[in-house]
Structure 1
């Protein structure tokens, strides 16, 4: 008997966007997946539902990282393979994660031809916010998995996080993906009880989000987007609402960085709602400042000011004693940096300067963050018309960025160099631009 499926209403639009990005006709895609172009047209327009098998073939053909299959929900799991191993745990989330890690590890060029589209975040974000809670079941794979295994993953993530903060996403990305594929994937396909299951899924979501951050940091934005969506799926399977809120905030962060202001605002608001539901005030404050940044990218000064005021009030009254361990980065220096970035997005370097300088009062373990914040100081001075000060801060940013493998860090340095170009006759500017060129190529 055929498998009954429930298909996400955004499936057709997402399939069309993936096909359009590659410039493929329906006929060409149909040949790749052994499906008529008319049937594919019906799928894109919501007239026919794909099977899990067809969705998986489309994922493979379009390098979609398991996201199309994740949008096709099994109403009654079939037999065999991973679905049998994980029983009633949300199998599409696990399948999507395992596929993504394997494809990324095996194909170094995965998704390089795909462009980032902030709107792709919105469907999984809405689905995550509105999906009903369901108990997480045990799994019956061949390997026994317990809480010590979960703790091992947490300890390893601590190591990866420390290296990432000190040396950039490029220093950890490939090792982290290998860890996900070989180690975390093996645990997810193991045998564990209903107490271990949510903890394992939660730490897997955290690891997947970290891989998304590292991928974002090296400039592979479409692939980073796949990781963020997959992390959100796993957090949903774990019923980990605080982590889900944090992942939604990360999606907003990436959208704002890539100048998708409207989507950044929507995702920040989703993060705020999730944070409020979970009772984590610090994430609600982070969501508010990210909403402000989205408004600033869109040029809405009044909405920016309102969101910043809300962020400050939420931060002041947040109870931090019960924060999750992974939220340790969110402190006064981080908040000041986000305020500074928001004001520079509005072109108000004069307002950004005091926040940019305050952001330097930060934990020395965040070396990459210090490089970012020094670049922020330089950009603020530039917008304020203070060229010599901008060049001096830029020099410090170059010093801080040496030895850090981060495309974001290099992008900031290159932007400063471009904006200083009209003043290249000044010795300090010429020196900065020459040094920055050595790092940015």
Structure 2
């Protein structure tokens, strides 16, 4: 029978139809689910968990398991289906936990932000296990995600935006010099370049370690100007740690870093960067099949930075708005957002003001890639529409052409090659699709990005399902199996 900690309440139990529905759709047996729960529990150090088929049957019959079982089940089903399956979606209850260790509804105040960044980055460095940082990490979605993020716009009470040293403090004064601050900021730029060129899997731990070092500096007494620059540095490193985590498939970890990055951006008083963090969160929600949440996050980003974001940043936000509308299935709003992105981008750089490094990635190639993917997504939502696929094709071709000349953004090159391959599949042109997928495979082998690998596998699987009798597709399937590494542990 299940060991202590695996069981729960039997009071007034009725069959759990929600859990039963997800279980049937998963294709797992009771024994397989039990083994996965036990394996995940061991990874997170919950060695008291010992689940078997009879225990799984009791959960299906209505028994409420105790923590951490509900969160383990939520993550396993989320990974299985590629979208958020919350504890509540499974008909389960989760214990209340303090904001310091769970969820995204965190205090919007400097000292707490520093403490949470320090705690989370330290846990990540120590545990570094796939998707798990203790018992508390789970994806948030819907109102549970959107409502806390809306507090980004609420002004902080006077005196709470910076860490203040208590009177008579005996702590040594900070010796952080301007050149040291400059070096910290330039290191962040270097990490961002590595990520674009090599994928999120190569330097993720280094970024997390640097973030932890910055939080140590923020816990020392600092002049206000220095503190503000350090919060900005922390925000950029946390966003990059989130982006790298997203790229290698650690979705709950990525979301937590994004949320903490938004908090740090608020402390730095950097609304444009806050809008960029929200755009990263929006992209993740599209990836997880939550386009309505993605649209809410983008609208929050646009509203919060409407009076201070550069044209390039505004164009990026319009492009992400188009992606959200495409995935919701609203063609007219998608096309309008695409036009706004193009029109606004044409103003980028005209005022002569220097752009922050974090938005420089949004080039003409990136603009074309985003807009092409919006049309491509519309094609899928509209039942594999050849009309929208044809709209996507010339824009995607331009993105592939431009990224092909850009050695720095190899991951984006691979993603757009794969995007172009999917467009040819939509147009029922498997041979052309294979040519592009083969090019993407060559890039994927050089880039540490599980996101690239997953999209490529999915595209080849689609080709094999729809055109399995085409010789080129058969050959590509064999190449993929031989050359593309299976998902590796994140580093």
TM-score range for the pair, normalised by the shorter chain length: 0.7 to 0.9
Query: Do 2:196 and 2:409's aligned partners in 1 also have CA atoms closer than 8 Å?
Result: yes
Which of 423, 430, 434 lines up with 2:478 in the alignment?
434
Between the aligned partners of 2:295 and 2:467, the Cα distance in structure 1 is 36
Structure 2 segments unaligned to the other structure (5+ residues): 1-40, 42-58, 69-95, 166-170, 380-387, 487-491
Q: Deviations over 1:26-85 (max 9, x none)?
A: 9869xxxxxxxxxxxxxxxxxxxxxxxx965x644xxx27x45x33x6xxxxxxxxxxxx
TM normalised by structure 2 equals 0.71
The verdict on how the C-alpha distance between 1:27 and 1:169 changes in structure 2, with shifts beyond 3 A counting, is closer
| 2:10 match | none
Write the distance in 2 (CA, Å) between the matches of 1:233 and 1:243.
11
2:253 match: secondary structure: helix
**Residue number in structure 2 paired with 1:390:** 433
Task: Give runs of aligned pairs for residues 37-48 of structure 1, distance below 5 A.
Answer: none
Partner of 1:341: 373
Aligned to 1:425: 469
Aligned length: 375
* Residue pair 2:152, 2:266 contacting (<8 A) in 1 also: yes
Identify the match of residue 316 of structure 1 among 343, 346, 355: 346
2:195 aligned residue (164, 169, 172): 164
Matches of residues 91-130 of structure 1 in structure 2 within 5 Å?
Answer: 91-109=111-129, 111-112=131-132, 114-119=137-142, 120-130=144-154
1:162, CA displacement in angstroms?
1.9
Q: CA deviation at 1:409?
A: 0.1
Matched, 1:284 2:284: no
CA RMSD, Structure 1 to Structure 2 (Å): 2.6
Q: Which deviates the most, 231-240 or 120-129?
A: 120-129
Q: CA deviation at 1:131?
A: 2.9
Preserved CA contact (<8 Å) 2:242 2:258: yes
Partner of 2:408: 365
- 2:332 is equivalent to residue 332 of structure 1: no
The match for 1:209 among 207, 231, 239 is 239
What is the CA–CA distance in structure 2 between the aligned matches of 1:289 and 1:278, rounded to whole Å? 18
Q: What is the SS of the residue equivalent to 1:117?
A: coil
> Which residue number corresponds to residue 418 of structure 2?
375
Q: Is the 8 A contact 1:137 1:193 kept in 2?
A: no
Pair 1:229–1:238, CA change in 2 (3 A): same
Deviates more, 1:172-181 or 1:375-384: 172-181
Q: Tell me the TM-score normalized by structure 1.
A: 0.79
Using the TM superposition, give the Cα deviation of residue 343 of structure 1 relative to its aligned residue in structure 2, in angstroms: 1.0
Q: Partners in 2 of 1:138 and 1:118 — Cα distance?
A: 31
Unaligned runs of 5+ in 1: 1-21, 30-53, 74-88
